[in-house]
Structure 1
Amino acid sequence: MSGGPGSPSSSGRSRPSGRPGQRLNRPSRDPLGWNGIFNINKPPGITSAWVVSIVRRLTGARRVGHAGTLDPLAAGVLPVCVGPATRVVEYILEQPKVYRAEIALGVTTDTDDAEGRVLATRPLTGIDEPKVRAVLAGFVGRIRQRPPAYSAVKISGRRAYELSRRGMPVEVAAREVTVYRLELLEFEPPRLVVEAEVGRGTYIRSLARDIGERLGCGAHLSGLVRLRVGPFRIEDAVTPDTLKGLVEAGRASDILYPPDEPLLEWPAVIVGPETARRLRSGQALPHRGSLPDGLRVRAYTAAGAFLGILRFDRSQRLLRPEKILESEDAPGREER
């Protein structure tokens, strides 16, 4: 259940009363009508940017963006936001991701994956399943990780991969990332398959490389499938071809998730018309209760439309608008 402006609901997966699971702002062929998230199953062999271009072409939407790049050889879940929903991309990026990774032991490459140039080969001496499990356990938790030399990390304003492709020496600084879970699925030397649940900024290529180094044989990532991003699962994802067929049949709204789908674990408030107008104009709301500083809250209009995201400023006891998605001229919006 949701309270008024001064009492955000603690029931994270709640929606406004009387509208359980309803898809808001269903799309139309009008570019301004699209507002939601497609859970795309990206096939291997194409870039994430190419998937975005496919969705833009199919929908005619002006604003389209994905929530987390997958390398061309990787496959799996790629959330693609359209319309005002592109404003929630940053919140999807913060959510845990689950991957199934295939690792080739005994061979290191300059890209840390199968596309790169082989740098060295080493024998798999003394490597058995107990040793593999012990090594994997050492990567769970907060760890220091060095991103690949061929990555989008910036060094002095330039992408690391741009420098690497020019043959320039690249030293990417290590940084802290989180590995929530790392499980062994298969071990048939030199093939190793793991399932990893990780936080933002974690490179699975680097994880494969470092596992190989810890085992003493070297390794690279030979295959990758993203199984989940936040609430978006591969079991529910659709291919670009399936999306094309649904758009042509006028049924794309059947698979368009509402913009608040990745935020349903957050508390929520419902606001009246006057308060909604104040939020749209950037005004903060006084809050008398006690909330953690920086807590994000979903806001909905009395009509049930997702208005946007508020953030609690404890020092001023205010709920400040952080992102407002639903504007005064939103298609189909009615307030009384």
Structure 2
Amino acid sequence: MDGILVLNKPVGPTSLDMVRLVKRLTGEKRVGHAGTLDPAASGVLPVLLGSATRASEFLLSAPKTYRGVVRLGIETDTYDAAGAVMREADCSAVTRGQVEQVLKRFQGIVLQKPPMYSALKHKGKPLYKLARKGIEVEREPREVRIDSIALIAWAPPLLTLDVRCGRGTYIRSLAHDLGEALGCGAHLAALERTRVGPFAVEDALTVERLHDAAHGGHLAEEAYALDWTMLDLPAAILSDDEEDAVRSGRAIATDPDASRSDRKDPCRAYGESGVLIGMIAYDANEQRWRPTKIFPREAPAG
């Protein structure tokens, strides 16, 4: 089976648990997800099957949207509700206006220190394994992109945020940093990922619907074609000769949709029959388009 199943992961299972479930239900060996969700988080988890696993990079780098509930006044070692309480403070004096002002600091390209309880590695070992042994190591702040933060609910000591961000952003770290900036501490009490690229939580399959579709024999109908991961990129229809060329690794002089391409972005390449061939990128020196990723001839397109 080739394609993308967009799941609505419930609170509890890990992202890898969901991958194992899809493997069991489909029998497909090549299965992976496009962006880890913590066990305590719910929401959109794209699971890629077969040839679609080769397009995971496009979803991993796609913008993501989250809805998070932040609890002011309590700081934990994991930055979420599952951790041990490290500090408690009175947050009754914090106002909505103060929060909105502080949130402005976290928009744009910002430096963010990842939490110790994360899958990032230090000298080959996941940080969370070190943290469970009581070992804390210095983590270098990393640049992340936060496109927007909206305070959508204010019910002290709880507040709800909608966050649109780029790859590598930890909403747990955002909650922790917000608490530090306000001087009262905070942690992430709940988190839902509401969108990954083109995929919204409203359209995602619940575990129940996933089982029903599998047992009903129509799971393939629920899968998106792999080019859904790159619909924001320009496209080109190649002739049979051009297709043969790029499949052989040779550059071509095609002309993608000029209204959408400034030749800086990669481009989707399709055959005359509508089959997705792969990705091509412009070589300014040669003034030609070179193949950068080629999919199998049977790769499904939307």
- Name the TM-score, length of structure 2 as normaliser: 0.94
The match for 1:283 among 245, 250, 273 is 250
Letter in 1 for 2:105: G
Distance 2:55 2:15 in 1: 18
Match of 2:101 in 1: 134
Match of 1:317 in 2: 287
The match for 2:266 among 296, 307, 313 is 296
Q: Mapping of 1:37-186 within 5 angstroms? A: 37-186=4-153
SS at match of 1:250: coil
Deviation per residue, 1:285-310 (Å, 9 max, x gap): 24589975652100111111111111
Letter in 1 for 2:149: L
- Percent identity between the two aligned chains: 43
Task: Note if contact 1:294-1:314 (Cα within 8 Å) is conserved in structure 2.
Answer: no
Q: CA deviation at 1:142?
A: 1.0
Say if 1:244 and 1:187 are closer, same or farther in 2 by CA, change over 3 A.
same
**Which of structure 1's runs of 4+ aligned residues deviate more than 4 A?**
287-294
Q: Which runs of 5+ in 1 are unaligned?
A: 1-33
The match for 1:226 among 169, 179, 193 is 193
Match of 1:4 in 2: none
Say if 1:223 and 1:277 are closer, same or farther in 2 by CA, change over 3 A.
same
Distance 1:190 1:114 in 2: 14
SS at match of 2:106: coil
Distance 2:299 2:84 in 1: 52
Deviation per residue, 1:124-179 (Å, 9 max, x gap): 15201111111112211111100001112222222211221222222111011111
SS at match of 2:226: coil
- Name the TM-score, length of structure 1 as normaliser: 0.84
SS at match of 1:138: helix
Distance 1:264 1:138 in 2: 32
Task: Note if contact 1:292-1:312 (Cα within 8 Å) is conserved in structure 2.
Answer: no
